[in-house]
């Protein structure tokens, strides 16, 4: 991949791009609260942390029950809109 960064070296371009990307990720309203992201950024060895930590990959929505008010807020033509 060729980057256009003026007179800066490619290494500097990649570093600035990565810093910009990480800034977007850690400031994202949903992703910033993710425990795995926090561990990735804070742990010295993410690989070691991952080996020692059990992570569930189940969908979050499986255990979520909606009440009657939330159910009534779902449009009746939702299936048609999603197709």
This prediction has a pTM of 0.49
At residue 34, the pLDDT reads 85
Cα 78 to Cα 8, 31, 34, 72, 74, distances in angstroms = 50, 26, 29, 12, 7
Tell me, what's the pLDDT at 5?
66
Name the band, by pLDDT with cuts 50, 70 and 90, for residue 39. confident
What pLDDT digit, counting tens, does each position of 54-64 carry? 877 777 777 77
pLDDT band at 8 (very low <50, low <70, confident <90, very high): low
Q: Please, are residues 29 and 37 in contact by the beta-carbon 8 Å criterion?
A: no
Q: DSSP string spanning 56-82?
A: --S-GGGS----HHHHHTS-TTHHHHH
């Amino acid at each position: 991949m060729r980057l256009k960064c003026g007179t800066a070296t490619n290494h500097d371009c990649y570093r600035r791009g990565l810093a910009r990307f990480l800034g977007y990720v850690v400031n994202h309203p949903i992703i910033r609260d993710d425990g795995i992201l926090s561990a990735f950024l804070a742990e010295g060895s993410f690989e070691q942390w991952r080996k020692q930590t059990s992570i569930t990959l189940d969908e979050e929505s499986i255990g979520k029950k909606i009440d009657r008010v939330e159910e009534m807020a779902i449009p009746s033509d939702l299936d048609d809109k999603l197709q």
